[in-house]
Amino acid sequence: MENLTEKVAELGKRRGFFFQSSEAYGGVAGFQTFGPEGAELKRNIENSWRNTFSRSLGHREIEAPTIMHKPVFEASGHLDGFDDMIIECPECGTSSRADHLVEDNTDIDEAEAFSTEQIEGLIKEHDLVCPHCDNSLTNVDVDDFNLMFETNIGPGSETKGYLRPETAQGIFVEFPRLKQYARNKLPFGITQIGKAYRNEISPRKGLVRVREFTQAELEHFIDPEEDSPSLSRVEDVELVLYPVDNQGEGENSYVETSVRKAVEEGIVNKWVAYYLGIAKQWYVDIGVDMTRFRFRQHQPDERAHYASDCWDAEAQVDGAWIEIAGFAYRGCYDLTKHGKHSGNKRDFSVFKEYDEPETVEETTIDIDMSILGPEFGSNASKVAEKVKRKVELGPEIADEGAIFVHLDGEEYAVDSEAVEVKEEIVKKSGEEIVPHVVEPSFGVDRTVYTVLAHSYREDAINSEERTLLSLSSSVAPTEVAVFPLMDKEELSNRAREISERLRDYGFSVKYDDTGNIGKRYRRQDEVGTPICITVDYETFEEDPETVTVRERDSTEQERVRVEEIEEAVLSRL
Amino acid sequence: MENLTEKVAELGKRRGFFFQSSEAYGGVAGFQTFGPEGAELKRNIENSWRNTFSRSLGHREIEAPTIMHKPVFEASGHLDGFDDMIIECPECGTSSRADHLVEDNTDIDEAEAFSTEQIEGLIKEHDLVCPHCDNSLTNVDVDDFNLMFETNIGPGSETKGYLRPETAQGIFVEFPRLKQYARNKLPFGITQIGKAYRNEISPRKGLVRVREFTQAELEHFIDPEEDSPSLSRVEDVELVLYPVDNQGEGENSYVETSVRKAVEEGIVNKWVAYYLGIAKQWYVDIGVDMTRFRFRQHQPDERAHYASDCWDAEAQVDGAWIEIAGFAYRGCYDLTKHGKHSGNKRDFSVFKEYDEPETVEETTIDIDMSILGPEFGSNASKVAEKVKRKVELGPEIADEGAIFVHLDGEEYAVDSEAVEVKEEIVKKSGEEIVPHVVEPSFGVDRTVYTVLAHSYREDAINSEERTLLSLSSSVAPTEVAVFPLMDKEELSNRAREISERLRDYGFSVKYDDTGNIGKRYRRQDEVGTPICITVDYETFEEDPETVTVRERDSTEQERVRVEEIEEAVLSRL
């Protein structure tokens, strides 16, 4: 189907799935509003994700703020490295993404991994021009542009805050408490569904590249030496894989294999493979078309700095592949960084008990409280703790005259005499380890978009053209619509009764009595309602009473007894 | 109970309900993270709100972005008027909320409505000092501080964006589309549950005054002349009201009456009363203690600029009253403003058909397309539309030589000759009206906090002290916890089977096999789990098998047959 993108956008607007926000004010690129149908579809997809990736796996969900202050993003690396390359036209002032400019105007497919210097070279080599005014961009500098939205917290500008570019950091920074709730035992998983923000240089229309979006992320904290995924759960799930080695050979060189074989043959890391298997099943359930779907491995230079292996779930719409999820083995990168930057290494590790206590040589640090006590009074033990941590990080500072530490904004100088560093033979019952992290990360908006695009159909019923969304009943905004044939009291009373009964049974139900019955069927077809029930005059002619039950995809109609209506709906969903 | 605030905060941290976010980095005041238990409780409260205020009432929910651009907030009045009064100490630089300074140090209870000059006068009169360094603040200026978080959208700083200070504006700006989805018929209601942000000058600890929070808002668009609420639905609901006139007489002068009588006696606007009735029932259901709850009417000078009547739901914690919801009759304020500022009045009104067509004198504007056509080509009809709208707003401009309009950034000059303004007698079938808005608006974080505080209990079981949350089962994070008495295979297999069965039945279930059984009961008591089930050795001695079912509040234990476990749980929730 050509122009599926435009068709979905048009239907999205007309039926209330999604549309450019604040249109009355001209809107701003990159911000979309989910209308009533879209918000319901999105929520159903989120709840389904929650059941699959959080509840069923025994993981727990948290909700951290979307604004965090500067030190968090200094630690995570986002402040320094979360950039896109920007080029500003000196003639008209239009800013463009420099790597996209190269991709759109040369044979190069993936320019994101190049350096700014390389991109400048390519712009010169191909004599590229501004897409807005055609002015030459040769000799114009390519700069790094940080993608985080910045703001000031509180009065004044001292406290910089950033809108999180991924929900993940909200989980990592809270690790010290989260491990307590897990009773300091690995493995455990924490999920979060929430907003994330990226100040894209050139957002696209629709839901694919937006500046505000929803992520559903799972951070699974594991002991890489001890823990293994329950592969048996998904071992036979078939995957369509597009590994790095095959990517040179074009799109027909997919590897189709089971989760078990993908692991055995060393194509995919076992943890990543486990989640690919769970994700594949989930995508099938919510209605992603598996003939337009693949898992693609990242090229080494395309991988984020932290990931040792990374695969994307990709869906095809109008011939283009859209990344809809990423599965990364992040190793110990994040927790190590936060341990270092926060100065609280222990908070970001977990104590792992040995099977048998071991005898090891260890550095111990003794602080003489008879010196600190009189000098620092009630703060002495806190100062001692700070000194201990500082010396742990670099024992050599104990050789200097004094050690300086900060506590509640005050500086304290501690005489080195009070600090003794010793090498001792000790019996250890275990050690602190930094957990590794496996991260399945889903873009919810793009998933919503894929589900809409993949369920979009056009057909003809009695030579009348029809548009429908063949949505999976597990995510459709409405499961059953109930109509009275006409807006007459007898009919509408019974139709309302049936609505109520079905609602009480747990179905999502819509009641509609406006317009002729054909129009009402079309309306429900276009918002993807699997089943329509009509109360008509025949209803009362029969004993027991019957109604017409119509299926969306086939448009087949059947008369069903009102007393059996719940079962009739259930069996058709 | 004294220090309930501290006790709830301590339990919140220890058990994973809520805590200061990014603590490892010192945190920033006003940002809290919901841990696993708190996030679940919050989600249950949100879902319960959704069922009560959206689904059951036939309203629809949308999801608009949290960032919107400047014109939206110019129209809404937030850019100009959404301020708190700030005073900065010239000595230490600490910023304080000037009205709170007055409230905390004088007999004045409500200083928010005063002008900056009045507050400066009061600071002088009472010789107030900086709460941080005791420096005198007499003669220091009190300024307005805008509470919106500001950011830049896209590269450069031309496009200012703001984090929305209320979810409501996201609904109002989308009215042009939302009315289409409602088929241009009043009344209809739109809800939204989402983040909102206020850059508080001095946030408090905990969940009561935070900078990032969740709102659940309903905008009910009505025709004030035709529509009435279904009062019969809630007419007998008893309310504790604290009307303006009684507020001088202290807290014992509440009016306790039914919704019906409150309307009949003119105490509350009928639309507001309707929603107070629904809210009261909801608060009871989620576990707010009605002996620490009231509806308080706003004083005229305390009401927002748009509201003609406004009541707050207030809950008492540690003797202080916390606003947890507001019920405002906003009239046509918002839609009128957006119609004016966007230049698209018609988009923010609804066509109301008369019962009978009426004959009226009307101004009509004719545009001569034989002039515009040749001059503006394919843009002619768009230009004509713009001219028409401009002349509608001020017909006098048609007397000048030319009319200037803008389209896609270009200016077009239209000869006045092409525009004819006529007074005509016409038959009208209806007219455009601006709907009025009734707005129940809930603070979700404060509701979570109230539910926690009001369900907090301490007692002694066999002279052992116990803390528990007596949470309503409609919102408790876990409904049933299932334990094996010991971590032995026989016991834990059966316990896991029972967990699965209960989960399949639809209960939220936790399985726990860590620690002794007493500790496990205490843990579940502290997170508010109503029912615990234990599989012990007796289970297998009986035929059919039985388990111990324990109730949280009474701690009573009973043996129940495994085959009847679903019914046993259901009857106890």
| pLDDT tens per residue, range B489-536 | 999 999 999 999 999 898 999 999 988 999 999 999 999 999 999 999
Q: Does residue A2 register a pLDDT over 70?
A: no
Among left, alpha and beta (phi > 0; psi -120 to 50; other), residue A62 is beta
- pLDDT band at residue B260 under the 50/70/90 scheme: very high
Q: Chain A residue with minimal CA distance to B348?
A: A24
C-alpha distances (whole Å) from A216 to each of A167, A213, B62, B115, B567 are 8, 10, 19, 46, 35
Q: Does residue A571 register a pLDDT over 90?
A: yes
| Contact flag B24-A67 (C-beta cutoff 8 Å) | no
Q: Which residues of chain A neighbour B159 with C-beta distances below 8 Å? A: 28
Nearest to B24 among A154, A173, A199 (CB): A173
Q: Does residue A404 register a pLDDT over 70?
A: yes
Label residue A213 exposed, middle or buried (CB < 10 Å: 0-12, 13-18, 19+). Answer: buried
Q: Which pLDDT belongs to residue A54?
A: 95
Q: Chain B residue with minimal CA distance to A202?
A: B154
Q: Residue ranges of the alpha helices (H) in B19-77?
A: 36-49, 70-76
From B322's Cα to the closest Cα of chain A, the distance in A is 22
Nearest to B22 among A63, A68, A211 (CB): A68
Q: Does residue B202 register a pLDDT over 90?
A: no
Q: Which residues of chain A neighbour B75 with C-beta distances below 8 Å? A: 25
Mean pLDDT computed over B44-70: 96
CB B372 within 8 A of CB B418: yes
CA A557, A559, A562, A566: dihedral to nearest 10 degrees?
-50
Bond from prior residue into A477 cis (ω within 30 degrees of 0): no
Q: Which pLDDT belongs to residue A304?
A: 67
Question: Regarding beta strands A531-535 and A480-484, do their DSSP bridges make them parallel or antiparallel, or are they unpaired?
Answer: parallel
Q: What whole-number percentage of chain B has pLDDT above 90?
A: 76
Residues in chain A: 573
Calpha distance A197→A217 (Å, rounded): 14
- pLDDT band at residue B304 under the 50/70/90 scheme: low
- pLDDT band at residue A251 under the 50/70/90 scheme: low
Q: Does residue B51 register a pLDDT over 70?
A: yes
C-alpha distances (whole Å) from A377 to each of A367, A383, A384, A404 are 15, 10, 11, 17
CB A70 within 8 A of CB A476: no
- pLDDT band at residue A1 under the 50/70/90 scheme: low
Residue type, B540: F
Structure tokens at A464: 């009348």
Q: Which pLDDT belongs to residue A97?
A: 92
From B16's Cα to the closest Cα of chain A, the distance in A is 7
Q: Does residue A79 register a pLDDT over 70?
A: yes
User: Cα dihedral sign for A517, A518, A522, A525?
Assistant: positive
Q: Which residues of chain B neighbour A26 with C-beta distances below 8 Å? A: 71
Q: Chain A residue with minimal CA distance to B35?
A: A62
What ipTM, to 2 d.p.?
A: 0.89
Nearest to A22 among B21, B22, B173 (CB): B173
Q: Which pLDDT belongs to residue B1?
A: 59
The candidate with the shortest Cα–Cα distance to A533, out of A490, A489, A497, A488, is A497
- pLDDT band at residue A389 under the 50/70/90 scheme: confident
- pLDDT band at residue A530 under the 50/70/90 scheme: very high
Structure tokens at A352: 């792992």
Residue type, A11: L
Mean pLDDT computed over A123-136: 93
Q: Does residue B308 register a pLDDT over 80?
A: no
- Out of A363-377, A476-490, B408-422, the most confident range is A476-490
Q: Which residues of chain A neighbour B30 with C-beta distances below 8 Å? A: 153-154
Mean pLDDT computed over B249-267: 90
- Choice among A150-164, B136-150, B400-414, B467-481 with the minimum mean pLDDT: B400-414
Q: Does residue B250 register a pLDDT over 90?
A: no
Q: How many CB pairs under 8 A join A and B?
A: 208
Q: Which pLDDT belongs to residue A409?
A: 75
Q: Which residues of chain B neighbour A151 with C-beta distances below 8 Å? A: 149-151, 163
Nearest to A69 among B22, B32, B40 (CB): B22
List of E strands, B224-277? 238-242, 255-258
What residues have CB less than 8 Å from B400, skipping those under 6 apart?
B416
Q: Does residue B69 register a pLDDT over 70?
A: yes
Calpha distance B139→B89 (Å, rounded): 11
- pLDDT band at residue A424 under the 50/70/90 scheme: confident
Nearest to B195 among A16, A66, A200 (CB): A66
Q: Does residue A130 register a pLDDT over 90?
A: yes
Q: Which pLDDT belongs to residue A68?
A: 97
Q: Which pLDDT belongs to residue A212?
A: 98
From B251's Cα to the closest Cα of chain A, the distance in A is 35
| Contact flag B63-A38 (C-beta cutoff 8 Å) | yes
Q: Which residues on neighbouring strands pair with residue A18, listed in sequence order?
A: A34
CA B308-B309-B310 angle, 5° bins: 130
Nearest to B62 among A31, A34, A341 (CB): A34
From A38's Cα to the closest Cα of chain B, the distance in A is 8
Mean pLDDT computed over A514-534: 95
Q: Which residues of chain B neighbour A22 with C-beta distances below 8 Å? A: 68-69, 71-72, 173-174
Q: Does residue A378 register a pLDDT over 90?
A: no
- pLDDT band at residue A382 under the 50/70/90 scheme: confident
The candidate with the shortest Cα–Cα distance to B514, out of B485, B471, B553, is B485
| Contact flag B33-A63 (C-beta cutoff 8 Å) | yes
| Contact flag A199-B348 (C-beta cutoff 8 Å) | no
Q: What whole-number percentage of chain A has pLDDT above 90?
A: 75
| Contact flag B159-A60 (C-beta cutoff 8 Å) | no
Q: Does residue B543 register a pLDDT over 80?
A: yes
Mean pLDDT, rounded, of chain B: 93
Q: Which pLDDT belongs to residue B251?
A: 66
Q: Which pLDDT belongs to residue B501?
A: 94
| Contact flag B65-A176 (C-beta cutoff 8 Å) | no
Q: Which pLDDT belongs to residue B453?
A: 98
What residues have CB less than 8 Å from A232, skipping those under 6 apart?
none
Q: What whole-number percentage of chain B has pLDDT above 70?
A: 99
From A2's Cα to the closest Cα of chain B, the distance in A is 27
Q: Which pLDDT belongs to residue B305?
A: 63
